[in-house]
Amino acid sequence: MKAAVISFPGSNCDFDMLYALKDFGIDVQIVFAKENNLDEFDAIFLPGGFSYGDYLRTGAIARFSPIMSAVTKAANEGKLIVGVCNGFQILTEAGLLPGQLLVNKNPGFICEEVPLKVVNNNTNFSNAYSLNETIMIPIAHGEGNYFADDEVLTELENNHQVVFRYGNNPNGSLNDIAGIMNEKGNVFGMMPHPERAVEKVTGNIDGQNFFKSILSGILNQA
């Protein structure tokens, strides 16, 4: 498996993601947002941070980076696309995932570990977890409040596109949504940071099965 971690101006979790992927033996490299070709990669990761300073709206400027045409192409080809935190925001702005991430219900930056419930473990991103398992994953965001209209929410629920829900909703996200995938099942976004929960030295390894799931998903596609 060969993976790319996209680095936008303002990304600050790109190397967190890089090192987490390396821990699982994945051939991974940083690819900068000015590039426009991702054909050699099996999976694409959009990391957390503050792309382009979030000056307009989170992810709104990054959506127009040259690399996003290649991300869209990879998504249309069925490759695995993962957006975490700011990466999730970028995927919604690019129309690769439905909905929008708004300012937290109680405005302010939240940085803590939160419980997540695995509500769909039949995905490329959660198959190593047990159904209804509760895991602890760090969050770090000021605009993680997931919003979508009633029609989109109904589709997400009916199609089992919600993968993770908050056990104790920290930001006001509708339906306690913490992570979703597209209907095809190859594009995924979540606000919590599984890449920060893979090393025993941090006191939390609940994110390990997230990456094991992705490895399994890639093998199943081969």
Residue in 141, 155, 195, 199 annotated catalytic: 195
Tokens 């473990």, located at residue: 121
Active site residue 195: yes
Sign of the four-CA dihedral 52, 53, 59, 60? negative
Residue in 13, 85, 141, 143 annotated catalytic: 85
The span from the CA of 148 to the CA of 97, in Å, is 11
Residue in 13, 143, 193, 199 annotated catalytic: 193
3-class SS of residue 38: coil
- Where on the phi/psi map is residue 195: left (φ > 0), alpha (ψ -120 to 50), or beta? alpha
Residue 3 φ then ψ, to 5°? -125, 150
Active site residue 85: yes
Active site residue 157: no
Catalytic residues: 85, 193, 195
